[in-house]
Chains A and B, each alone.
Chain A
Amino acid sequence: MNGLLAWRDEAASGAVNMAADELLAAEAVRHDRPLVRIYGWQEPTVSLGGFQRLGDAQAFPGIAGLPIVRRPSGGGAIIHGSDVTYAVAVPRSHAWGGDPQVLYDAFHEALVEVLRKQGITASLHPGRGRDAGDEDRFLCFDRRARGDLVVRTADSADDHKILGSAQRRLQAAVLQHGSLLEQSSRAVTEDARHPGLHDLLASAGWGSTANDLVDPWLLRVAAAAGLRLEWTGESFLATHRPEITAAAPRFLSQAWLGRR
């Protein structure tokens, strides 16, 4: 049985991370199996959705001064640095490669289950329709789409989104990016901050971190699909350094960053 092959990588720049994820998609096709990469960012960085306007980022004062990278995937902008980021790449022929919602739900439902076992009330948002104007909101965590993972705490009437994901659907593979918020970013102003797991749950005695959740989360993702989780024990960045180094400059180019 082909398992879900996983790498846990060291923090890297936005361009290196995007180049690595592009390669991850190609490798998923080559290996004909789903691959997942868990990673961080070497400095607080804004990643834009594939078609967000660069001008909108530059006009958003709350994120001024942060490096910006454009993802190949869709969705809204994410402020990285106090989150755990994942990229999963799946061949289009795989059961996760058809209906886009299937892959979102595979990762989000698994985390709901892991959180519930820790006594946290988590659920998937039902979506709120186009009238809510979510696509006009710049930041991913200000948007609510069907399947976004939200948690509710005892001292808040509001749901808080803590995991959002987006996809790039290529000819032979699907690349899905996701961000699990650990803490509200201190690199941005108040209007660009969103509470993460630590902010929401530490006062209630929750002593874990987003990083602690990764292993049970991916185990659950794999098990729900009848797959075995296989950690490579290696760094995807290190083992594919020449290809990633060669591809990274494209993600720094004006042609890519300023494409819209």
Chain B
Amino acid sequence: MAAELKFAKTHEWIRPEAGGLATVGISAYAVEALTDLVFMQLPNVGRKVKAGESIGEIESVKAVSDFYTPVSGEVVEVNTSLPNELETLGKDPFGAGWLVRIRPDDPAEMDGLLDATAYEALVKSQPH
């Protein structure tokens, strides 16, 4: 996992980008746990979101899961090709499998998220 990534306890990652934006995705651990993805619903561009709010849903075989924004802000871009190419999530969860780009209200909010080391410890502590 790249050092610039931060993680939410709900398994989303976020990466600061140029221009005050941040890219959000789902961790490889979470994607692997979902298995056999069949449908995804992403938020609309322009939506104002609050940290911890559900911004979309994904269905794997028989299970619907929410995903959450790690920071508050505005959704400025959505990976519109992803719902039609869900296998990308499994192949490249930290790259081409990104979900949304957000303009954070307060970039410092990312400081409160987990770094890669802390996230790996969280994953190891999860019930199996």
Partners in one complex: yes
Contacting pair A168 B128 (CB below 8 A): no
Given contacts A50-B57, A51-B41, A135-B38, contact A169 B128 (CB under 8 A): no
**Are A72 and B128 in touch, CB under 8 angstroms?**
no
| A67 close to chain B: CB less than 8 A | no
A241 at the interface (CB under 8 A from B): no
Complex Cα distance, B59 from A73, in Å, reads: 9
Please indicate the chain B residues that have their CB under 8 angstroms from the CB of A155 in the complex: none
Q: Quick check: A98 and B128 within 8 Å, CB to CB?
A: yes
Residues of B within 8 A of A49 (CB): 59, 62, 64
Q: Does A102 contact B (CB under 8 A)?
A: yes
- Chain A residues lying within 8 Å of B57, measured Cβ to Cβ, are 50-51
| CB proximity to B under 8 Å, residues A155-194 | 165-171
Instruction: Flag whether B121 is at the interface (Cβ < 8 A).
Output: no
Q: A145 in the interface, Cβ–Cβ < 8 Å? A: yes
B36 pairs with A74, CB closer than 8 A: no
B68 touches A171 (CB 8 A): yes
A-B pair count, CB < 8 Å, reads 71
Contact (Cβ within 8 A) A98 B10: no
Interface: B61 (CB within 8 A): yes
Cα–Cα, bound, A171→B64 (Å): 12
Contacts of B66 on A, CB cut-off 8 Å?
169-171
Q: Verify if B19 is at the interface (C-beta below 8 Å from A).
A: no
Asked if B63 is an interface residue, CB under 8 A from chain A, the answer is yes
Residues of B near A98 (CB, < 8 A) are 33, 126-128
- Report the separation of the CA atoms of residues A260 and B59 in the bound assembly, to the nearest whole angstrom: 13
Given contacts A99-B33, A100-B33, A130-B36, contact A51 B127 (CB under 8 A): no
| Interface membership of chain B positions 39-72, coded 1 if the CB is closer than 8 angstroms to chain A and 0 otherwise | 1010000000000101001011111111010000
In the bound complex, how far is the Cα of B24 from the Cα of A213, in angstroms?
46
Distance to closest chain A CB from B73 (angstroms): 19
Whether A167 and B127, one on each chain, are in contact in the complex, defined by CB atoms closer than 8 angstroms, is no
| A73 and B61 contact, CB distance less than 8 A | no
Query: What's the minimum C-beta distance from B47 to chain A, rounded to whole angstroms?
Result: 16
**Chain B positions within 8 Å of A202 at CB level:** none
Q: Are A72 and B61 in contact (CB under 8 A)?
A: no
- Nearest residue (CB) in A for B65 is A169
Instruction: Give CA–CA (A169, B38) in the complex, Å.
Output: 15
| 0/1 interface trace, chain A 129-149, chain B, CB 8 Å (1 if under) | 010001100000000011000
Q: Say which one of A14-22, A89-97, A230-238 lies at the interface with B.
A: A89-97
CB-nearest residue of chain B to A135: B38
Q: A50-B57, A100-B33 are in contact. Are A74 and B128 (CB under 8 A)?
A: no
Q: Given A98-B126, A169-B63, A171-B10, 7 other A-B contacts at CB below 8 A?
A: A72-B64, A74-B64, A75-B62, A93-B127, A99-B127, A135-B38, A168-B65
Pairs A-B, 6 closest by C-beta atoms: A98-B127, A169-B65, A50-B64, A167-B63, A166-B62, A75-B62
